[in-house]
Structure 1
Amino acid sequence: MDVSTLFSVKDKVVLVTGGAKGIGYMISSGYVANGARVYISSRDVKSCEKAAAELTAKGPGKAFAIPADLQKLEHVQNLVRSLSAREKKLHVLVNNSGANWGESYDSYPDDAWTKLLTLNLQRVFTLTQLCTPLLEAASTGAGGVDPARVIHIGSIDGIRVPSLETFAYSTSKAGLHHLSKVLSAHLGPRGITSNVLACGPFESKMMKVTLEKFRDTIEEGVPLKRIGTPEDVAGACLFLSSRAGAYINGSVITVDGGSHCSAKL
């Protein structure tokens, strides 16, 4: 049980959606820094290419850009076709792409539900479904000790009830958590695990405005009194993707400093 092999992801092929910015970039960085081949996908073409070039320059792994607007079914299909043309196996799929929408209850629009349920939930299923043959090819199969991994980036707002008016976001993340459990039961026999990281506050584009306004309040509400760092979320992904995490399936792991357990009163 040598640490260098127990937690290794060297030479694994990884797809990270939304991997060019925020938490996704933190995750991509962790994989590349530990020798994986990482494919980064998001609708922002320039950001994908920039992130891939930066991470490859740092090494020792490599990163590649496959831009795609994951809201659109044809883009998801093209993403998987492009990946399949380059790789015969996919060891790890990280479903990180997501969106948020905050607005008062009385004016909360129908469009918010369509956008967030599509990207945060439906397309997670679509992409996982289409990647399944590549994931199966990377797995040692049912009963094997090295399954392929699907990691979904959820949220503690899918566990607790947030005070912010993010109705569609919170609901979509709660749905994602349950979807992962359903997938764990169906994909486990095919040699693929499915788990969630329910993340708390991290430095990201999605959290930028909230942190600017409420950073002190947010940090005070976290028992560890800080927001997350790149090492926190990347480390959790590396664990789940390595031999050390091979028997974890159907779990929702909170990566939030304990804030989901902190009562306000």
Structure 2
Amino acid sequence: MSTAGGGVGNGAAAGARFAAQTAYVTGAVGGIGSAIVRALAAEGAAVGLIDRDPEGGARLQDELQAAGHRVLYANADVQDFDACRAACDQLGAALGGADILVNNVGISPKTNGRALKVWEMPPKEWETVMAVNLNSVYYMAHLTTPHMVKQRRGRIINMSSVAGKAYCDIVAGHYAATKAALIGLTRHWAGELGEYGITVNGLAPGRIATPLLKSVPREINDAVAEITALRRLGTPEEVADACLFLASDQARFITGQVVDVAGGWLMT
């Protein structure tokens, strides 16, 4: 359950915002993904956990099921359409079609701790980042929107990044390109799907204190915090709070927007 900012924690106490709804979350095992999963489950949603980490997925599923939540893990490498389809079929049969889709999965490869320049980057790395960060978003939307269109209601949240809006030398060009593309997709799908009662929004996190940041030299994260208006890194729970707001009826008249969750870093 989220505790940052009081949003999700207080919401769970006041009532389950997502009772009788089903959410699918990609990249569900990672720091931001697992925070989103826990927050959705705490507020009554049945949650499908999509990730290619079977051990982490099983642990998260068992933890939440033991707490009385309705969750199910589906193993899938989301850069493969057939794997996405199999995961959606598995989750649909057990939990129902997705009322909420959170396209959270994303990778940002580094070599020896740094992002590669364009002349250094092998084509395979470019293609893999495109497949995971961008193709998967289309695959999941393609597979889940028929249910949303039929019921004339749905929420899609795409995980972009401030690096999709402004130059950020911490990441490589492939990551920035995919996150910028998600901003365009979010706006286009908002227009395309609005008549069916489906909202499509995005989040653009800044530097978030996930377990992956432990592998980054501390001075890099300290430097980002220093130029962030709030003078600190964000938490996964703060991203989850924003995600749940966009998925809720409180945001029913908000669509086509990409909200920075960055503490004032790389403000655009």
Q: TM-score, normalised by structure 1?
A: 0.88
Q: CA deviation at 1:41?
A: 0.7
Flag structure 1 segments of 5+ consecutive residues without an equivalent.
142-146
Q: Which stretch of structure 1 is more off in the superposition, 95-104 or 203-212?
A: 203-212
Q: CA deviation at 1:245?
A: 0.9
C-alpha contact (below 8 Å) 1:197/1:255 kept by paired residues: yes
Q: CA deviation at 1:206?
A: 4.5
Q: CA deviation at 1:238?
A: 1.3
Flag structure 2 segments of 5+ consecutive residues without an equivalent.
1-10, 110-114
Distance 1:250 1:16, change over 3 A: same
- Name the SS for the 2:216 alignment partner: helix
Q: CA deviation at 1:242?
A: 1.3
C-alpha contact (below 8 Å) 2:162/2:206 kept by paired residues: yes
Q: Does residue 1:209 correspond to 2:215, yes or no?
A: yes
**Identity across aligned pairs (percent)?**
30
Q: CA deviation at 1:56?
A: 2.6
Q: Please point out which of 71, 75, 81 is paired with 1:73.
A: 81
C-alpha contact (below 8 Å) 1:100/1:206 kept by paired residues: no
Q: Which stretch of structure 1 is more off in the superposition, 96-105 or 200-209?
A: 200-209
Distance 1:98 1:165, change over 3 A: closer
- Tell me the residue number matched to 2:194: 188
Q: Which stretch of structure 1 is more off in the superposition, 199-208 or 245-254?
A: 199-208
Distance 1:94 1:189 in 2: 20
Q: Please point out which of 21, 27, 31 is paired with 2:36.
A: 27
- Tell me the residue number matched to 2:229: 223
Q: CA deviation at 1:37?
A: 0.9
- Name the SS for the 1:226 alignment partner: coil
Distance 1:72 1:157 in 2: 25
Distance 1:23 1:16 in 2: 11
Q: CA deviation at 1:123?
A: 1.6
Q: Does residue 1:134 correspond to 2:140, yes or no?
A: no
- Name the SS for the 2:160 alignment partner: strand
Cα offsets for 1:158-202 (capped at 9, x unmatched): 011012351100111000111111111111112211110001111
Q: Does residue 1:16 correspond to 2:22, yes or no?
A: no
- Tell me the residue number matched to 1:54: 63
Q: CA deviation at 1:205?
A: 4.7
Q: How does 1:1-265 map to 2 (within 5 A)?
A: 4=14, 8-59=17-68, 61-101=69-109, 102-137=115-150, 139=151, 141=152, 147-210=153-216, 212-261=218-267
- CA-based RMSD of the aligned residues comes to 1.9
Distance 2:228 2:19 in 1: 33
C-alpha contact (below 8 Å) 1:17/1:95 kept by paired residues: yes
Distance 2:66 2:264 in 1: 35
Q: CA deviation at 1:247?
A: 1.1
Distance 1:234 1:172, change over 3 A: same
Q: TM-score, normalised by structure 2?
A: 0.87
Q: Which amino acid aligns with 1:43?
A: R
Distance 2:225 2:103 in 1: 26
Q: CA deviation at 1:150?
A: 0.4
Q: Which stretch of structure 1 is more off in the superposition, 80-89 or 25-34?
A: 80-89
Aligned positions, number:
251
C-alpha contact (below 8 Å) 2:210/2:236 kept by paired residues: no
Q: Which amino acid aligns with 1:53?
A: D
Q: CA deviation at 1:45?
A: 1.0
- Name the SS for the 1:174 alignment partner: helix
- Name the SS for the 1:259 alignment partner: coil
Moved over 4 A (4+): none
Cα offsets for 1:31-79 (capped at 9, x unmatched): 11112111101111111111111123334x3221011011112101111
